[in-house]
A and B are shown apart, each in its own frame.
Chain A
Amino acid sequence: MPIAKFAIQRLLQAVFVVFVVTIFVAFAIRLTGDPAIMLVQESSNVTEADLERIRAAMGLNKPFLVQYKDFILGFFNGDMGTSFFRGPVSNLVAVALPATLALAVASMVVSMLISIPLGIRAALHKGGLSDQIIRIGSLVGLSFPNFWLGLMLMMVFSIKIPIFNSSGYEGPASIVLPAVTIGIILTATNVRLVRTAMLETLGAQYIMVARSKGLRERIVVYKHALRNSAITIVTYMGLQFGNLVGGLVVVEMVFNWPGMGSLALDAIYQRDYPVLQASITLLALMIVAVNFTVDLVYGLLDPRIRVE
């Protein structure tokens, strides 16, 4: 299949997924009840006419599909609706999205710093003691909940030994604990990906050539093998983006990190449905976009993927 056709096919798939997800979220949120009543539940002297006015103002008296269309058009024009309590949703997102992206990038960096050296070591000593230890370590890493690791780190490094603050954003150092938490969780999977990718590269003939030229092992491994595995490693890591977002949502809540996960969870606790709808839609869009990009890169690099 030519790459253009493959790209168009995957793009259509991505658009379809976005459509299904957004319509599901919009529909599910309408199921929970009348937002107009939720909005005024505090005040007692509200007449039916008042409710009608609120519904008209929020666009709730229109048919569902029209509301959906309005939401989507507004969403892509930067108007994400209005929170019940906190003003325009786009203002909230403008604060939360950079915070989440910063945490996501920092976690990826932490994870690469740990998983690349360990993965290389495991690949070089395949079947040996360090390989076994790394393998068991990675299994242990897959075996505890991310939020528990976060709480443990918080307990040790901000309560017993007060190096970092335990919650919220108080300067750049605040990112360390949440980023290390997610980074360690990602490492458990990434270290295996690095190991597999390196084993594949190290078996190639040009590595044998490089070795037979008498190059130092260090140069063979880092300059020849790692560089050639890099694209595979990055692509595999990209495929885990959905995983990463899942980790972000929970860990942000543990550390009160002011990102998209906290925004969505707070919206649930306060029944602030415009915020919930906008934040879930945005997170789903991000995941679909990353998956699409990774798919495309993958298809470009490995033509076998395109056959189906």
Chain B
Amino acid sequence: MSLSEENIILPEAAKKKRSLAKYWSFELLFGAFLTCSLGVLVLCSGLLFPDGGEAIDLRARLMEPFVSWQHILGTDSLGRDILARVITGGKISYLVGVASTLGALVLGTLVGLVAGYYRGFWDVLLMRFADIQLALPFILLAITVMAIAGPGLDRVIGLMIISQWVQYARLVRSGVLSLREREFVQAARSYGLPDAKIIFGHILPNTLGPIIILMTLNVANNILLESSLTFLGLGVDPQIPSWGGMLADGRNYVQVAWWIMVFPGLAIMLTVLGLNLMGDWLRDHLDPLGQTAK
């Protein structure tokens, strides 16, 4: 941004235009629309498709999309409805995305609060731990752990919590470090409030902005990671309908049936795009200092 721009006194009309541009939030609206509509579909998948996309119809194997009302998005190699499986499979993605993010949030926030508020030994330990984790790429950790533990939903979620809580801990810690010397915290302390009340009532609420942004982006990222792991056979059980599992299946039919691979991929893309759009907008509006910048 050039310096001069800040110093000019803008005429009324220009000011108005500028403030509109500032809150121009097609991103937010579209992102929220995508996330909400897909979320509702996935949540209602049990009502929409009571068979959970498991109904096998061998007479309708590898049916092309957009030719029959019964199977709008076509069928896979066992004659299972792609639309039903895509929407049912979303449950796994949402579950992994949300559960791992919440787990990492709770663990990381607690550690970050303690480390930042009390400093000393715990703080040093946390920061060394963070250094190691940042140097360890997730995919290598995942390959090692999943090769040993075998595929499973709980292990995927656990792995993501282990590899991501550090981000929250660092964010909360740096927030606490700058907040604990501020007047309102000093005042609370001088009133004799207990530490827990100061931490949860006065410090934590003031670090929420960056945390919400990180959470939004992490849910999106974890949905991608889960699909990659499952695609490689290192994620959730291949028997359960999931987007990554459907793509792994579709890979075997890439020559003859493009639709098996295209629709689950689109579902991942729209879900993640919705979350990324919202996260990006939130970053612009809640985090002007760029604490969560990657």
Q: CB within 8 Å of B: which residues of A?
A: 13-14, 16-17, 20-21, 24-25, 28-29, 31-32, 126-127, 136, 139-140, 142-148, 151-152, 154-155, 159, 166, 189, 199, 203, 242-243, 245-246, 249-250, 253-254, 264-265, 268-269, 276, 280, 283-284, 287-288, 291
Contact = CB atoms under 8 A, between A and B. Distances in A.
25 contacts: A17-B136, A28-B148, A29-B148, A139-B276, A140-B269, A140-B273, A144-B224, A144-B265, A145-B231, A147-B228, A147-B247, A148-B247, A148-B261, A148-B268, A148-B269, A151-B251, A154-B254, A203-B2, A246-B139, A249-B140, A265-B232, A268-B234, A283-B137, A287-B137, A291-B135
B1 A268 contact: no
B233 interface: yes
Given A139-B280, A287-B137, 20 more contacts: A13-B131, A17-B135, A29-B144, A29-B148, A144-B265, A145-B228, A145-B265, A151-B265, A155-B261, A189-B294, A203-B2, A242-B135, A245-B139, A249-B140, A264-B143, A268-B143, A268-B146, A269-B233, A280-B140, A284-B136
B172 interface: no
Contact of B136 (A21, A159, A253): A21
Nearest to A250: B228
Q: Looking at B148, B261, B269, which has the most chain A CB atoms within 10 Å of its CB? A: B148
Contacts of B258: 155
A145 B137 contact: no
B132 A17 contact: yes
Interface in B97-156: 131-132, 135-140, 143-148
Contact of B140 (A127, A139, A284): A284
A243 to B, nearest CB: 8
B261 A139 contact: no
B137 A20 contact: no
A192 B174 CA distance: 25
B232 A151 contact: no
A33 B218 CA distance: 34
Contacts of B131: 13, 17
Contacts of A291: 135
A288 B132 CA distance: 10
B255 interface: yes
Nearest to A265: B232
A152 B136 contact: no
Contacts of A147: 228, 231, 247
A246 B273 contact: no
A37 to B, nearest CB: 16
A253 B232 contact: yes
Given A139-B280, A145-B224, A245-B137, A151 B143 contact: no
Nearest to B258: A155
Interface of A is mostly: helix
A216 to B, nearest CB: 20
Interface in B238-294: 244, 247, 250-251, 254-255, 258, 261-262, 265, 268-269, 272-273, 276-277, 280, 294
Given A139-B280, A151-B247, A144 B228 contact: no
A287 B141 CA distance: 13
Contacts of B143: 249, 264-265, 268, 276, 280
A264 B27 CA distance: 40
B289 to A, nearest CB: 14
A44 B27 CA distance: 63
B67 interface: no
A139 B144 contact: no
B251 A159 contact: no
B201 to A, nearest CB: 31
B139 A152 contact: no
B130 to A, nearest CB: 12
A129 to B, nearest CB: 12
A246 B232 contact: no
A26 to B, nearest CB: 10
A144 B254 contact: no
A97 B276 CA distance: 34
Nearest to A273: B147
Nearest to A146: B228
A80 B144 CA distance: 18
A159 B254 contact: yes
A292 to B, nearest CB: 9
Nearest to B269: A144
Nearest to A159: B255
B265 A25 contact: no
A288 B255 CA distance: 39
Contacts of A139: 273, 276-277, 280
A64 to B, nearest CB: 16
Give the top 10 A-B pairs by smallest Cβ distance, nearest first.
A246-B139, A143-B273, A148-B265, A242-B137, A143-B272, A144-B269, A268-B147, A17-B135, A32-B148, A139-B276
B164 interface: no
B278 to A, nearest CB: 11
A140 B228 CA distance: 17
B220 interface: yes
